[in-house]
Structure 1
Amino acid sequence: MTYVRSGWGHLKKQFPSVIILFLYQLLWGFFLYRLVDTAVTSVLQRYPDPSLSDLSRILFLVEGQIGLRENPDIAMYFWILVSMVAIRLVLAPLIQAGILYGLMPQESRKSGLPLFRGMQVFGKPLFLFYLLELILILVPAFWIVPKLNHLWPSLLQTGSDLPTILTIGGYALGWVCYIWILRQCLLFAQFGYLFKMGTWGALLTCIRYLLPGIGISLLLGIFSFTVFMLFGTISWFWTGLIALILQQLHPLFRSIFKVWQVTSQYQLWETKSQKS
């Protein structure tokens, strides 16, 4: 597709930003792994041996319930996890701001690395867009979650109840489609607002050319899934150093596809906005 090829051209100009995004995701994954490893491994090591009686497992569960209330380490890990989520929520719109700033013409940019310069220039409006996105994503939860809570008990009691499974799957699929359309609209709105082309006009362009936008997401999604499966297959058959290298490189390709998605959608918006 033309927009994907043009988006690749924009991506190559932002490769330093891709490397920084890769290092960020690599460090984030490392700290999250260390947190889970420290908190979970010590608990699993205390799990009773299968050869012991059921009483030992009951005592383990009782001890765990008491520990959740009285162990100070539980509160520490909880607040560490909350802090990491808060940092992630703050950094996400800043990274998006840096990527979008890199789409500006070279002569319009200020000196400095586009990713960090964009955080400074576009950070505040992108944070508001991101806050609006989170609110709109969570709004359907007030309607969907009670329905899912009503369906879960019947599914657990009856086992593989096909109508219930299809209903739950329909709610989940509808929510996923809603989130994608919402993010697509807000992304185009960001283009229009940041590049002074009009927010409402950008939203109309998004709705009018929604099918090409879906095509871009599907095509890049297939590319990303193919790379993921290829890495997973190679790691499965060739364990050791090769698997470790591929595991560490996977965030790089995830960063590439993340930026490529934005640049391709930008190319779609720019082309259609000029024709309007």
Structure 2
Amino acid sequence: MNDAIRQGWETTKRHKYVLVALFLYRLLWGFFLYRFIDAIVAPILTRYPDEHPIGEAAKQLFAIEAQFRLLKTDLADRTLLMLGAMLLLRMLITPIVNAGLYYSFAHAQDQGGTQVLQGIRRSWKKVSLFYGAEKLIALAPAIWLIPFGRSAYLEMPNAASWIGQMLPYAAGWAIWMLAVHLPFLFMQFSAAAGDRPWQGAIRAIRRLLPLLGVTILLPLLSLLGSAAVSGATLIWTGLLAIALNQAFHFVRSTIALWTAACQHRLWQREEA
């Protein structure tokens, strides 16, 4: 695993221009998502009775009104529909970008520079096919889990009880998504490199332990860094907090690219 991390970092440095493009893509996506959520949440929060004369009674009335708007109007349906459309758009773009990146990883030693655009032209269809199959299988439990969660929410006396009931199901779903993701990721590596996809799934099983280590360790660093940045912005507000948040998008993009490069190095290893 250590060799994969070191070699993955070397591959990441070779793709520095791809890293800049990935950073800008994530930055723009985060901006539009923030503006969308802000347009929905801000009008509701303006009605919050922060210093109302009747105090707690006004806050309870606000909570009742918010619950009524969520459950008795089409606000939640329209919001979920828009979020679903945005998610679908991202799911269409992501495998195309991945196809170019994985192809470039596989041919990083062939010649100078990267081959992302060439990889998109040659392998986007195959990578998109496996990416779509992965998402269908990974999201299949949602067909049962979402209606179950909605029914449980309506029956629970408070949100804390509902979260406690749903937490084991959410954890199980997360484990299922990871178990589906890893073999399909190696199948996408194989498809981009022109190999047989099923061989990629076998490699993922054979190298499961180092693959799990890389897949969990590096994103964990990103999560810890994100928590540190969030804590810092609570202390240093204003322009500095905004600059710190935006700068961390680059760190997050670097770790994401590094993780993919390390996973690809594990796929490339000759022993197995």
| Shared fold (TM-score, shorter chain, > 0.5) | yes
Deviation digits for residues 173-231 of structure 1 (CA, Å, limit 9, x no counterpart): 22111111211100111122221332222211111111111111222123212322332
Structure 2 partner of 1:226: 224
Identity %: 28
In the alignment, the residues of structure 2 paired with residue 124 and residue 206 of structure 1 have an alpha-carbon distance, to the nearest angstrom, of 22
Find the counterpart in structure 1 of residue 105 from structure 2.
103
Cα displacement (A) at 1:10: 0.7
- Matched with 1:121 is 122
The 3 A distance-change label for structure 1 pair 67 and 112 is farther
Q: CA deviation digits over 1:64-93, x for unaligned, max 9?
A: 589946x9xx96x77654542332121111
Question: How many Å separate the matches in 1 of 2:87 and 2:142?
Answer: 19
TM-superposed CA distance for 1:120, in Å, is 2.7
Aligned pairs for 1:239-250 within 5 A: 239-250=237-248
Instruction: Name structure 2 gaps, 5 residues minimum.
Output: none
For 2:152 and 2:252, locate their aligned partners in 1 and report how far apart those are by CA, in whole Å. 35
2:264 to 229, 245, 266: 266
Deviation at 1:29, TM superposition (A): 1.2
Q: Report the counterpart of residue 185 of structure 1 in structure 2.
A: 183
> Quick check: which has more Rg, 1 or 2?
1
Segment drifting more, 132-141 vs 10-19:
132-141
Deviations 1:223-256 (A, max 9, x none): 2123223323332333333322110012211211
The equivalent position to 1:199 in structure 2, one of 197, 220, 233, is: 197
CA contact (8 A) 1:93 1:126 kept: yes
Counterpart of 2:11?
10
For residues 230 and 173 of structure 1, do their structure 2 counterparts lie closer, same or farther at Cα, with a shift above 3 Å needed? Answer: same
Task: For 2:107 and 2:70, locate their aligned partners in 1 and report how far apart those are by CA, in whole Å.
Answer: 58
Counterpart of 2:257, as a letter, is: V
**More moved, 128-137 vs 117-126:** 117-126
Please give the alpha-carbon distance, in whole angstroms, between the structure 1 residues aligned to 2:226 and 2:64. Answer: 42
Distance 1:220 1:204, change over 3 A: same
Deviations, residues 93-123 of structure 1 (Å, cap 9, x unaligned) = 11212221221325758x9964444333222
Hey, what does 1:141 align to over in structure 2?
142
Q: Is the 8 A contact 1:216 1:264 kept in 2?
A: yes
- Secondary structure, in 3 states, of the residue corresponding to 2:253? helix
User: Which residue does the alignment assign to 1:94?
Assistant: 96
CA distance in 2, matches of 1:59, 1:245: 37
The RMSD of aligned alpha carbons is 3.7
Q: 1:198 to 1:143 in 2, by over 3 A?
A: same
Closer, same or farther: CA 233–145 of 1 in aligned 2, 3 Å: closer
List 4+ stretches of structure 1 deviating above 6 A.
none
> Following the alignment from structure 1 to structure 2, what is the Cα–Cα distance between the partners of residues 158 and 35?
25
Q: Which residue number corresponds to residue 30 of structure 1? A: 31
The DSSP-based 3-state class of the residue aligned with 1:275 is coil
Number of aligned residues: 266
Equivalent in the alignment of 2:211? 213
CA distance in 2, matches of 1:153, 1:146: 11
Q: Which moved more, 1:46-55 or 1:60-69?
A: 60-69
Contact 2:219 2:256 in 1 (8 A): no
Partner of 1:51, secondary structure, is: coil
* Structure 1 portions without partners, runs of 5+: none
